[in-house]
Amino acid sequence: MHLRSITEVDLFEKRVLLRVDFNVPIRHGQVVDDLRIKAVLPTIQYLKKRRAKIILISHLGDPKRTNHKNTLKPIAKCLECPLVSDYQKALQIIAQMKPGKMILLENLRFHPGEKKNDPVFARQLARLADVYINDAFSVSHREHASVSAITKLLPGYAGLRLLDEVKSLSRVLAANQHPLVIMIGGLKAETKFKIIQLLQRRADWFLLSSIIRNTFFKVLGYPIGQSDYEPNIIPLVKKNLTLRKFILPVDVKIKTDNKAKVVEIGDLSQWKKKNFEILDIGPKTINLFADYLKSAKMIVWNGPVGQFNDPRFALGTNALAKTIAQNHRAWVVIGGGSTIRAIKKHRLSKKVLISTGGGAMLDFLTGRILPGLRPLLKH
């Protein structure tokens, strides 16, 4: 895949609208994982050297729950640049900005037009700049105003990080090594399961955990207590129940009465209906999943297998991260913030690609051209 590159356009003293992904974890007003911020620093430095006026745009949080707690203030503080909420005021600030300086616009998802891919909102963004640059691979699978509609209004190019991820993932896609094992956990189960369906022909095995696992259990009639599951994908799960490529846990670790207990899947029914949550996989499942990962020649991992932030339910994620790190013959692609944190402490092979994207990474590996990349293709 060949994209129009940031290096191919004259950006000297131009107003540049730079789409980044600063959807990072924030606690008590502080950024606690700056991986995605660091990822775009090379592009920012490149633009500064060319004396461009940089207008950073990003979202933060789930649009269904967006409120003013999702402000980008902690990120503006981290970058030491002004945060601007009013777009008319932004025009005035940009006009007075010195070349090489930057501002950060407030959370895009405060505007309903962002997720709707609204051309009116896109025009509001386009008025601020001369050139659009996408350096947010992780949102390039979404048809949102700042990713898709904006490309019809400004000349668009790929940032340095985006180019690097597309190049690396394209190499993995072309390698087509087998057995290909895909391990899926974490959140956003509806999106992930739809992508899993597209990957069925390519993959040899799917190791399922977290919300997707819970949804399978729900359909199979196992009690899941208060565990999160995704009702919207139940019809899809029912259609795929007999697919032998799907490997489910045989034991799990549950939280009940604020204690952690390992339970065989068949014994879940002994717990009171709503008196527990499934928050990790058990030791038998760790060994089961590890056997598949050890034999794999290509591994794709997106999403932890347990509630990674609680040490009581981090064993599965940590153990499988170690197994993956020790498989030096396999091509490995890892995406998703928690997943990346889990693998960080392990010594990785040169064949390991860390992607800033979770859903975008999986979507790209189906072979589909992502909506945010299509407008940047060279013709």
Residue 177: exposure state from Cβ atoms within 10 A (0-12, 13-18, ≥19):
middle
> pTM of the full predicted structure?
0.86
Of 279, 262, 282, nearest in space to 313 by CA: 279
CATH class, 176-364 region: alpha beta
Of 359, 376, 379, 378, nearest in space to 148 by CA: 376
Residue 358 CA: distances (Å) to CA of 111, 126, 186, 283: 24, 27, 10, 26
Tokens matching residue 28? 């008590």
Statement: residue 22 has pLDDT above 90: yes
Contacts of 240 (CB under 8 A, 6+ apart): 197, 246
Range 114-131 average pLDDT: 97
Tokens matching residue 22? 């600063």
Tell me, yes or no, if the two domains 6-162 and 176-364 fold the same way.
Answer: yes
Q: In what order do the strands lie in the sheet with 298-302?
A: 246-247, 205-208, 180-184, 298-302, 331-335, 352-355
Residue boundaries of the structural domains of the chain: 6-162, 176-364
The percentage of the chain sitting over the pLDDT mark of 90, rounded to a whole number, equals: 69
Q: Please give the DSSP secondary-structure letter assigned to residue 60.
A: -
Q: Mind listing the pLDDT tens digit for each residue in 24-43?
A: 888 888 998 888 899 999 99
Q: Mind listing the pLDDT tens digit for each residue in 326-362?
A: 998 898 899 877 788 777 777 766 668 888 888 898 8
β-sheet bridge partners, residue 30: 27
Q: Mind listing the pLDDT tens digit for each residue in 125-144?
A: 999 999 999 999 999 999 99
Of 179, 209, 214, 229, nearest in space to 316 by CA: 209
Q: Mind listing the pLDDT tens digit for each residue in 356-366?
A: 888 898 889 88
**What pLDDT does 348 receive?**
67
According to CATH, the topology of domain 6-162 is Rossmann fold (3.40.50)
Statement: residue 244 has pLDDT above 60: yes
d(CA 39, CA 361): 16
d(CA 226, CA 256): 10
Range 288-306 average pLDDT: 94
What average pLDDT is seen over the chain?
A: 91
66 band by pLDDT with thresholds 50, 70 and 90: very low
Q: Mind listing the pLDDT tens digit for each residue in 53-65?
A: 999 999 998 756 5
Contact indicator for 180, 202 with CB cutoff of 8 Å: yes
Q: Mind listing the pLDDT tens digit for each residue in 147-168?
A: 999 999 999 999 999 999 999 8
* The dihedral formed by the CA atoms of 308, 310, 315 and 319, expressed in degrees to the nearest 10: 40
Phi-psi map region of 225: left, alpha, beta (phi>0 left; psi -120 to 50 alpha): left
Q: Mind listing the pLDDT tens digit for each residue in 363-379?
A: 898 888 999 999 999 97
